Amino acid sequence: MWTFDGIPVARIEAAYGVTLDRTWLDAVQASAVRLTNGCSAGLVSGEGLAVTNGHCVADCAQALSSSGDDYVQDGFLTEAREDERKCPGLQAEVLLTIIDVTDQVRLASEGKAGRDFVQARDGALAVAELAACGQDQTLRCQAIGFFRGGQYKVYKYRRYNDVRLVFMPEMASASFGGDPDNFNFPRYAFDIGFVRLYVDDAPAATPTFLPWRGKPPADGEPTFVVGNPGSTERQLTVAQLETQRDVVLPMLQLQRAELRGRLIQFGRDDADQARAASQALAWVQNSYKLSVGKQAALNDPAFLDAKRADDAALRAKVAADPKLADTTGAWDEIAKAQPAAADLFPALRMLETGAGGGSELYYYARLLVRAALERAKPEAERLPEYADARLPLIERKLADAPPIDPALERIYLEHWLLKTREALTVDAPRVRALLGRDSPERLAEALSGSALSDPEVRMALWKGGLAAVEASDDPLVRFVLRADPIARAARAAYEARVSGPVDIAAEKIAKARVAVLGDGAYPDATFSLRLSYGKVAGWKARGEAVRATTTFAGFYDRVTGVEPFAAAPRWLEAKGRLKSDTVFDFVSTNDIIGGNSGSPVLDAKGRLMGVAFDGNLPSLGGAYGYDGARNRTISVSAVAIVEALSKVYGRDALVKELTGR
């Protein structure tokens, strides 16, 4: 997962005989798109057209649907530009430049400890963002820490606030195989979507884009995945991984399992409810399955033994270098903080980082309450996420109008309140302060009646500031005002006893890692632009060879007519027109993680040969490490996309835009 200012060009050339020159890298960077819903995409025409996954635009399709038009189940097909419709709340970003701000951030936090260190560092990052972008609304600047504090950089993006849906296949095709096939291979999913970036109500001019390749992928050929992997934890110490294994993952998994059950039951009651809950359920199921793989990796003694060996090797190199003498105790400092992490994590999770349980209404209420409270303070005294540089982004989020389902909101809020009471205990003062004399069920019902689903109500509170927020009679605003001091206290305690000392020690280890390994290491994923190199290749599973590709013929052989292996009617009707030996999906050795969904897969010439949409089962432990012998990226081939667009969907204009013919 190499950053674009640290591509190991010589290593790639030695491995695959491919030279990635500056022209290649600049063109690819200018063509890579980050979607603010946590996915990636790639520009594929000079008029703002970008390819991504179907599951990355499903929320948009659902938001555009109505009781008469179910674009998730039936697909979203456009005949002309005027049919393209704006995705509520979705923005796109293209990376322009990377600015190193390591020295100024370290200077701001030097000599500080605990929570003071965290606030000084985060405040310096906010200042760096403002310096890089100013108040230009067409830009976004994001300060990111790499190597757990070894480097700090500002990523400067061109922002597109108008993103319109162009194409999404029906759910039966995008997610063919459903949960049983998720993280498995062979696969036959047409997980593809297209969006277009607009500026001033016209398609954006994007003269640099990825050429479409007309040849299928071939075994052994080099592949380059360009996208935004979300988050990995490969540079955590063994002590931190043990806390993940014993405390964090078990708690999150129990909660996901219960929420999954609630959403399944909700969908069984009514067809409209099933449609409303479909994307939320898919997300929870995917997260649950992913965490099963993470837990399995951490439960594997051989895996942790390898991590211990890695820690020991780095510690030995540090001990042998007098210049790194102040780093030797850093691993012990992190270990000392783990009991506090275990003790404080439940409150941090339930009251701060996971507050609201996924409720959009709660998210809006907290933004409004905290922004009102923080904007009334001098900037130096605010929570860093409410610095002046970050306020325009908050305002845009509040002004967006994605639809909100009150019944789903009640499920999220009720589940969160029940789990908070369970995790922190009934008699805890902060739980009593949250619930008062209400039950979680009754309180959730009242809170889900909030008027914050209306963007005009939200913007009135935003513009009215603290006076308007404190005068509001909205039940959720009143609740968050009451809950905010409790949440802030949980955050402050965690920052003082865990984040502060751990981040200081981790920064020392990060400096040592960079000093010892130089440009031979890549940083953990941070949902920032990365390049992964690999090749088309199958693998062995339980002693059996898994081939690298599937075909349309294999898809039709897999169809049973029963969900989740029921083909969409238009695919059944088109069977005789499709070339049966067309490569459908394929696997490669590229290193990806969540956030890479929708990433372009390129060949050595920078041509788009596929779009990544999943990983295989062995890749589920990819948060903690990468095994090139077994970890695989799963992609839809470019040849399958064009063949299906033409012969299944009749999207001739779209095919012409992609291929020029």
Question: For 204-222, what is the HEC assignment?
Answer: CCCCCCCCECCCCCCCCCE
Parallel, antiparallel, or unpaired for β 202-203 and 32-35? unpaired
Structure confidence by residue, pLDDT tens digits, 211-237: 999 999 999 999 999 999 999 999 999
pLDDT of residue 274: 84
Pair 294, 443 in one domain: yes
- The answer to whether 157 and 142 have CB atoms below 8 angstroms apart is yes
Within-domain flag for 99: no
Q: How many CB atoms lie within 10 A of CB 451?
A: 16
Pair 556, 474 in one domain: no
The pLDDT confidence band at residue 328, using thresholds 50, 70 and 90, is confident
Instruction: Report how many domains make up the chain.
Output: 2
- Whose CA is closest to 184, among 641, 626, 636, 618? 618
Last residue of some domain: 484, 518, 552?
518
Within-domain flag for 150: no
The pLDDT confidence band at residue 278, using thresholds 50, 70 and 90, is confident
For 181-190, 394-403, 492-501, 604-613, which range has the lowest pLDDT when averaged over its residues? 394-403
pLDDT of residue 605: 97
pLDDT of residue 325: 80
Tokens of 448: 């889900």
Q: How much is the average pLDDT of 527-535?
A: 98
pLDDT of residue 269: 82
Parallel, antiparallel, or unpaired for β 49-52 and 151-160? unpaired
Parallel, antiparallel, or unpaired for β 600-602 and 85-86? unpaired
3-state secondary structure of 237: coil
Structure confidence by residue, pLDDT tens digits, 150-191: 899 999 999 999 999 999 999 999 999 998 999 999 999 999
Q: Is the pLDDT of residue 518 over 80?
A: no
Q: How many CB atoms lie within 10 A of CB 223?
A: 26
The pLDDT confidence band at residue 275, using thresholds 50, 70 and 90, is confident
pLDDT of residue 277: 86
The pLDDT confidence band at residue 271, using thresholds 50, 70 and 90, is confident
Q: How much is the average pLDDT of 304-332?
A: 91
Pair 530, 422 in one domain: no
Dist. CA 336–CA 196, nearest whole Å: 50
The pLDDT confidence band at residue 392, using thresholds 50, 70 and 90, is confident
Within-domain flag for 115: no
Within-domain flag for 147: no
Within-domain flag for 378: yes
- The answer to whether 54 and 168 have CB atoms below 8 angstroms apart is yes
Give the residue numbers spanning the domain of 358: 238-518
Within-domain flag for 285: yes
pLDDT of residue 380: 80
pLDDT of residue 67: 76
- Whose CA is closest to 234, among 536, 600, 588, 631? 631
3-state secondary structure of 572: helix
Structure confidence by residue, pLDDT tens digits, 566-590: 999 999 999 999 999 999 999 999 9
Structure confidence by residue, pLDDT tens digits, 39-80: 999 999 999 999 999 999 999 999 999 878 999 999 999 999
Give the rounded percent of residues in the chain with a pLDDT score beyond 70. Answer: 100
pLDDT of residue 7: 96
Q: Is the pLDDT of residue 513 over 90?
A: no
pLDDT of residue 588: 98
**Would you give the distance in Å from CA 103 to the centre of its chain?**
28
Structure confidence by residue, pLDDT tens digits, 116-150: 999 999 999 999 999 999 889 899 999 999 998 88
Pair 208, 248 in one domain: no
Q: Give the CATH number for residue 639.
A: 2.40.10.120
Dist. CA 247–CA 366, nearest whole Å: 26
Within-domain flag for 541: yes
Pair 193, 284 in one domain: no
Pair 214, 302 in one domain: no
- The answer to whether 62 and 230 have CB atoms below 8 angstroms apart is no
Question: b vs e for 577-615, b when ≥16 Cβ sit within 10 Å of the residue's Cβ?
Answer: ebeeebbbbbbbbbbbbbbbbbbbbbbbebebbbbbbbb
Q: What are phi and psi of 162, to 5 degrees?
A: -115, 100
Helix 330-348 to helix 475-494 angle, to the nearest 10 degrees? 160
For 310-314, 511-515, 579-583, which range has the lowest pLDDT when averaged over its residues? 511-515
Helix 360-375 to helix 455-471 angle, to the nearest 10 degrees? 50
- The answer to whether 95 and 157 have CB atoms below 8 angstroms apart is yes
The pLDDT confidence band at residue 270, using thresholds 50, 70 and 90, is confident
Tokens of 447: 């809170």
Pair 391, 535 in one domain: no
Pair 317, 379 in one domain: yes
